[in-house]
Amino acid sequence: MDGIAKSTSRPVDSAHAESHAGLLASVAESPPLLSVTGLSKRYDDQIAVTDISFTVSAGEVVGLIGPNGAGKTTLLELITGLLPADAGAIERYGVPLAQRHRREAIFYLPDGIRPYEEQRVAHVLAFFADVYRRPSIHIAEIIAVLGLDASLNKRVRSLSKGYARRLMLALGFLAPQPLLLMDEPFDGFDLRQTRDIAQVLRRNAQSGRTLVLAIHQLSDAERVCDRFVLLSEGRVRGAGTLGELRAHVGKPTASLEDIFLALT
């Protein structure tokens, strides 16, 4: 199935950089899948984000990292075109990506929503699979890998927070757009569940899907992401791989938390 494979025994946080090295090297000379340049948004006299710039290469997982209020959700909504930007540009492979065309390239999973609340989970999955012309075996594999079997006959409104998030992830995996944006993908999961979902996301990326994840828990971000964009008070405070960020702050063994505190 596209984007989801059987689990391996290797832990995600020790293997994902190695497994992605060849893929990322192959696209290093190409224009990035997504370029964000000088993106800014304000509400009256309050700055939401200002002069945000970063790139995302095909097949990698990029984390937008910062506490609540850092501007992560606003940034995602600007990238997807849900909000108009005051300034800045969005490009795909070096070509401007007009706001009206972004839904063709980007699928966005917001935090805290429950689509079709009165419908049963199985019906929602079948509807999305029909819209995107996905075969039944594809649905079955997504259900299995996300552990949705026991929830298929439940109505969406009755799902726990964690299972509602699993359903949203399933819809994202059914969507065909090459770039998947998620706001707080681990919200509602305990430690073990977070690790399992991180593995699922890594395997989805290893198939060639590109992920941009807004995450406020630094340990979760360090586990799943190839590169990081550190945000605080609506500004980029640092960007790069963990190794690059460690070199930037001069701390070769620093955790992402240590780096974030040093830069903010």
Q: What is the pLDDT of residues 190-218, one digit of tens each?
A: 999 999 999 999 999 988 899 999 999 99
Exposure on the CB side of residue 247, measured as CA atoms within 13 A: 6
Does pLDDT of 142 surpass 90? yes
Q: Do residues 108 and 82 lie in contact, with contact meaning Cβ atoms separated by under 8 Å?
A: yes
Residue 240 lies in a domain: yes
Confidence of residue 3 (pLDDT cuts 50, 70, 90): very low
Q: What is the mean pLDDT of residues 21-39?
A: 74
Report the predicted TM-score, pTM, of the whole model to 2 decimal places. 0.86
Does 121 map to a domain? no
Does residue 209 lie in a domain region? yes
pLDDT by residue (tens digit) across 85-105?
Answer: 999 999 999 999 998 899 999
Which pLDDT score is estimated for 207? Answer: 86
What are the C-alpha distances in Å from 166 to residues 32, 40, 74, 86, 135? 29, 32, 23, 34, 20
Average pLDDT, the chain: 89
Q: How confident is the model at residue 29 (pLDDT cuts 50, 70, 90)?
A: low
Q: Does residue 234 surpass a pLDDT of 60?
A: yes
Does 7 reside within a domain? Answer: no
- Condensed to tens digits (0 to 9), the pLDDT of residues 31-70 reads 899 999 999 999 988 999 999 999 999 999 999 999 989 9
| pLDDT above 60: residue 118 | yes
Instruction: Answer whether 107's CB lies under 8 Å from 177's CB.
Output: yes
Q: Name the residue range of residue 58's domain.
A: 12-113+178-189+198-263
Q: Given this model, what pLDDT does residue 45 score? A: 85
Q: What CATH number corresponds to the domain at position 221? A: 3.40.50.300
More confident residue, 57 or 24: 57
Longest dimension (CA), the chain: 53
Residues 6+ apart with CB under 8 A from 161: 187, 188
Question: Do the domain assignments include residue 137?
Answer: no
Q: Is 40 part of a structural domain of the chain?
A: yes
- 20 pLDDT band (50/70/90 cuts)? low
Whole-number Å distance between alpha carbons of 76 and 232:
15
Residue-wise pLDDT for 148-172, tens only, equals: 999 999 999 999 999 999 999 999 9
Domain count, the chain: 1
In this structure, is residue 17 part of a structural domain?
A: yes
Strand order in the sheet with 87-92: 46-56, 34-43, 87-92, 95-96
